[in-house]
Amino acid sequence: MAEIFTPFLTAFILAYALRPVCLWLEGRKLPRAAAAGIAMILGLGVVFLILSLFITLLKTEIPLIRAQFPDWIQNTQAWLGPKLSELNINVDWSTLKSSATQKITTHLNDNSDALMTSTLETVLMSGSSVITGFVNAVLILFVMFYLLIDWDHFFKLVKKIVPLRAQDTVHHLIMHADGLLSQYLRGMLIVISIMSVFYSVGLTLVGIKGAVAFGVFTALMIVIPYIGITLGFSLAILAALLQFGPGGAIIGVLAIYGLGQFIEGFFLTPRLVGERIGLHPVAVLFALLLFGKLFGFFGVLLALPTSAVGLVLLQYGWSRYTQSSWYQK
C-alpha cells in the first residue's frame, strides 16, 4: 500500500511547493503548460544540485581516506603504542601499516565508483529495485505536471464532493493548512540560503577542501531535523580529520557547527519559520521514523509538511471534542 501511495503523496507535495513558481511564470504571460514545465525543470535542477553535491563530497572524501590512511596508522601508533607496551602487548606496526594501507587502497580503487552508485541507490530507492524507482520517478513527474496544470480544477472537484454543510469548515481547514505550509516552505528557503553562506564561509576559513559543497549540503539537510545536521556535521568532521588530523581544524569545525546551530535554532527558525510547524521534538522524531518506515527516504522529507496538515486536523478535532456536550458533562 505504501509503495502505491508514496509517488502520489510526493507528487502532491512537490506540486504544492512549485505552484508559486508556476503562478509567477503564468503572470509573465506564459501558457499554463509551459509554466508548469519550466517550474518542474527548476525543481529537477535543485534535485540534481543536491545529488551533485553528494557525489562531490564522496569524490572528495574517498581520495582523502586513501591518502591519509598511512598517517592514521602512524598517529595511532604514537598514541596507542606506549599504552600497549605498558600492558606487554606487542604490535608489529610496520606490517599492520603496509598491509592495511594496501588493502584499503586496493578496495577504494576498485570500488569507489561502485560505492557512490550503491550509496545513491540506497538513498534514492530505499530498498526498491531500479526499475521500480524509475517507474515511480516517471509517475511522480506525470502526476506533478497535471496537478500544476489542473490545480484549481482539482480542488473544485474536491469541493463538490464535500457536503454543503461542511464546505465552510473544510475551506477553513484547508486555508489554515495552506498558511502553515506556506510559512514553513518560505521560511525554510530563507534559512537554507543564509546557512549555506554561513557554513560555506566558515569551512572555507578553516581550510576544508570542498567547503562550499559541505556548506550547501549541510544547509539543505536542515529540512530533515536532527538527522540532517548530524550528517553534515559528521562529514565535515571527517573531512577535517582526514586533511589536518586531530587539532585546531576539528575545534574550528565544532565551533562553526555549534554557532550555526545556535543561530539557526534560536534566531532564524523561530522568526522565519515560526517554530517550524509547532510540533514537539518527540513528535518530530516520531513523524520522521513513521514516514521513513512507511515511505522510505522521501517519506523522511515529507514527514514534516504532512505532519503540519495532520496537526491542523488534530487541533480541529480536539476543539470539537472539548466543545461537545459529551465532554462537558
Q: What are the cell numbers at 18?
A: 512549485
Structure confidence at residue 2 (pLDDT): 60
DSSP label of 224: S
Distance, in Å, from the CA atom of 269 to the CA atom of 99, rounded to the nearest integer, reads: 49
Q: What is the pLDDT along the chain (329 residues), one digit of tens a residue?
A: 566 777 887 888 888 888 888 989 988 888 989 999 999 999 888 878 877 877 777 676 667 666 666 666 666 666 666 767 776 777 666 666 666 666 656 655 555 555 555 555 555 544 445 567 678 888 888 999 998 898 888 888 878 888 888 888 888 888 888 877 777 777 888 888 999 999 999 999 998 887 888 888 888 888 777 777 888 888 888 888 777 777 788 899 999 999 998 888 777 877 776 555 666 777 777 877 888 777 776 677 777 777 878 888 888 888 888 888 777 77
- Distance (Å) of CA 46 to CA 12, 102, 212, 234, 258: 17, 39, 16, 23, 27
pTM of the model: 0.65
Domain ranges of the chain: 1-161, 162-320
CB 37 within 8 A of CB 15: no
Cell of 142: 506525470
pLDDT confidence of residue 211: 84
Residue 194: predicted pLDDT: 92
User: Quick one: pLDDT at residue 224?
Assistant: 76
